[in-house]
Chains A and B, each alone.
Chain A
Amino acid sequence: MALDRWIALALLGVCLAYGYAAWFTMDGSMPPIMRRLAVWPSSFPKVLSIVGIVLCLIVISGIEKAETKEPDIDYRRLHEYKLGQALLLLGLMVAYALLLRPAGFLLSTMGFLIGGSVILGERRWIIMVIVAAIATVGIWYLVQEVLGIFLRPLPYALGN
Chain B
Amino acid sequence: MLEGILLGLSTALSFQNILMVIGGCLIGTFIGMLPGLGPMSIIAIMIPVAITIGDPATALILLAGVYYGAIFGGSTSSILLNAPGVAGTVATSFDGYPMARQGKAGKALTIAAIASFAGGTIGAILLMIFAPMLSSVALLFHSAEYFALMVVGLSAIAAFAGTGQVSKALLMTVLGLIMATVGETAQFNAPRFTMGLMDLQSGFGFITLAMAMFALPEALYLVLNPARGAQGKSGEIKDLRITRHEAKKITPVIGRQSLQGFFIGVLPGAGATIASFLGYAVERNIAKADEQKEFGNGSVKGLAAPETANNAACTGSFVPLLTLGIPGSGTTAILLGALIALNVTPGPRLMVDDPAIFWSVIISMYIGNLVLLILNLPLIPYIAKVLAVPRNFLIPFILFFTLMGAYIGQNNSTELLILVGFGICATILKFADYPLAPLLIGFILGTMLEDNFTRSMNLYDGASFVWERPMTLGLLIIAVGLVLLPSYRARRARLRQQGIADGD
Residues of A with Cβ closer than 8 Å to B?
A: 2-4, 6-8, 11, 14-15, 18, 21, 26, 34, 37-39, 41, 43-45, 48-49, 51-52, 55-56, 58-59, 63-67, 69, 71-73, 75, 78, 81-83, 85-86, 89-90, 93-94, 96-98, 100-101, 109, 112-113, 115-117, 120-122, 131, 135, 139, 143, 147-150
18 inter-chain pairs at a CB distance below 8 angstroms, sorted by A residue, are A4-B433, A39-B458, A41-B190, A44-B454, A45-B178, A45-B192, A45-B193, A48-B177, A55-B174, A66-B168, A67-B163, A81-B224, A81-B225, A89-B396, A113-B397, A122-B392, A147-B31, A149-B45
Known A2-B432, A101-B413; judge A90-B168 contact (CB<8 A). no
Residues from chain B with a CB closer than 8 A to the CB of A34 are 188
User: In whole angstroms, what is the CA distance A37 to B419 when docked?
Assistant: 37
B226 interface contact, C-beta 8 A: yes
Residues from chain A with a CB closer than 8 A to the CB of B413 are 97-98, 100-101
B220 interface contact, C-beta 8 A: yes
Interface size of B as a range: 35 or more
Q: Are A117 and B167 in contact (CB under 8 A)?
A: no
**What is the minimal beta-carbon distance from A68 to any residue of chain B, in angstroms?**
10
Known A55-B167, A116-B396, A120-B391; judge A18-B433 contact (CB<8 A). no
Q: Are B174 and A48 in contact (CB under 8 A)?
A: yes
- One of A38, A63, A82 near B223 (C-beta < 8 A): A82
State which of B1-9, B380-388, B401-409 sits at the interface with chain A: B401-409
**What is the minimal beta-carbon distance from B93 to any residue of chain A, in angstroms?**
16
Encode contact with A along B423-459: 1 for CB under 8 Å, 0 otherwise: 1100011011110000000000000001001100110
Q: Which residue of A lies closest to B45 (CB)?
A: A147
Q: Are B167 and A3 in contact (CB under 8 A)?
A: no
Known A55-B170, A66-B433; judge A7-B397 contact (CB<8 A). no
Q: Are A89 and B399 in contact (CB under 8 A)?
A: yes
**What is the minimal beta-carbon distance from B334 to any residue of chain A, in angstroms?**
15
Q: Are B420 and A55 in contact (CB under 8 A)?
A: no
- One of B45, B181, B223, B228 near A120 (C-beta < 8 A): B223
B255 interface contact, C-beta 8 A: no
Q: Are A56 and B171 in contact (CB under 8 A)?
A: yes
B487 interface contact, C-beta 8 A: yes
Q: Which residue of A lies closest to B164 (CB)?
A: A66
- Which secondary structure dominates where chain A touches chain B? helix
User: In whole angstroms, what is the CA distance A112 to B397 when docked?
Assistant: 9
Q: Which residue of B lies closest to A6 (CB)?
A: B432
B221 interface contact, C-beta 8 A: yes
Known A89-B223, A96-B403; judge A41-B188 contact (CB<8 A). yes
User: In whole angstroms, what is the CA distance A28 to B156 when docked?
Assistant: 37
Q: Which residue of A lies closest to B48 (CB)?
A: A148
Residues from chain A with a CB closer than 8 A to the CB of B423 are 90
Q: Which 8 A-B pairs have the closest CB atoms?
A: A116-B396, A97-B416, A66-B164, A122-B392, A39-B457, A4-B432, A75-B431, A81-B224
Q: Which residue of A lies closest to B406 (CB)?
A: A97
User: In whole angstroms, what is the CA distance A150 to B165 when docked?
Assistant: 44
Q: Are A21 and B193 in contact (CB under 8 A)?
A: yes
Residues from chain A with a CB closer than 8 A to the CB of B251 are none
B166 interface contact, C-beta 8 A: yes
Known A3-B432, A39-B458, A94-B417; judge A120-B224 contact (CB<8 A). no
User: In whole angstroms, what is the CA distance A34 to B188 when docked?
Assistant: 9
User: In whole angstroms, what is the CA distance A85 to B392 when docked?
Assistant: 11
B355 interface contact, C-beta 8 A: no
User: In whole angstroms, what is the CA distance A115 to B419 when docked?
Assistant: 19
Q: Are B454 and A112 in contact (CB under 8 A)?
A: no
B175 interface contact, C-beta 8 A: yes
User: In whole angstroms, what is the CA distance A98 to B417 when docked?
Assistant: 8
- One of B396, B429, B494 near A113 (C-beta < 8 A): B396
User: In whole angstroms, what is the CA distance A120 to B490 when docked?
Assistant: 43
**What is the minimal beta-carbon distance from B160 to any residue of chain A, in angstroms?**
14
Residues from chain B with a CB closer than 8 A to the CB of A6 are 432
Residues from chain B with a CB closer than 8 A to the CB of A52 are 171, 174-175, 178
Q: Are A96 and B396 in contact (CB under 8 A)?
A: no
**What is the minimal beta-carbon distance from A12 to any residue of chain B, in angstroms?**
10
**What is the minimal beta-carbon distance from B418 to any residue of chain A, in angstroms?**
9
**What is the minimal beta-carbon distance from A48 to any residue of chain B, in angstroms?**
5
Encode contact with A along B231-270: 1 for CB under 8 Å, 0 otherwise: 0000000000000000000000000000000000000000
User: In whole angstroms, what is the CA distance A94 to B397 when docked?
Assistant: 16
Known A65-B494, A112-B400; judge A59-B416 contact (CB<8 A). no
Residues from chain B with a CB closer than 8 A to the CB of A86 are 220, 223-224
Among A43, A71, A101, A143, max chain B CB count under 10 A is at: A143
Q: Are B166 and A64 in contact (CB under 8 A)?
A: yes
Q: Which residue of A lies closest to B417 (CB)?
A: A97
Q: Are B424 and A90 in contact (CB under 8 A)?
A: yes
**What is the minimal beta-carbon distance from B454 to any residue of chain A, in angstroms?**
5
Q: Which residue of A lies closest to B454 (CB)?
A: A39
User: In whole angstroms, what is the CA distance A53 to B487 when docked?
Assistant: 19
Encode contact with A along B47-91: 1 for CB under 8 Å, 0 otherwise: 000000000000000000000000000000000000000000000
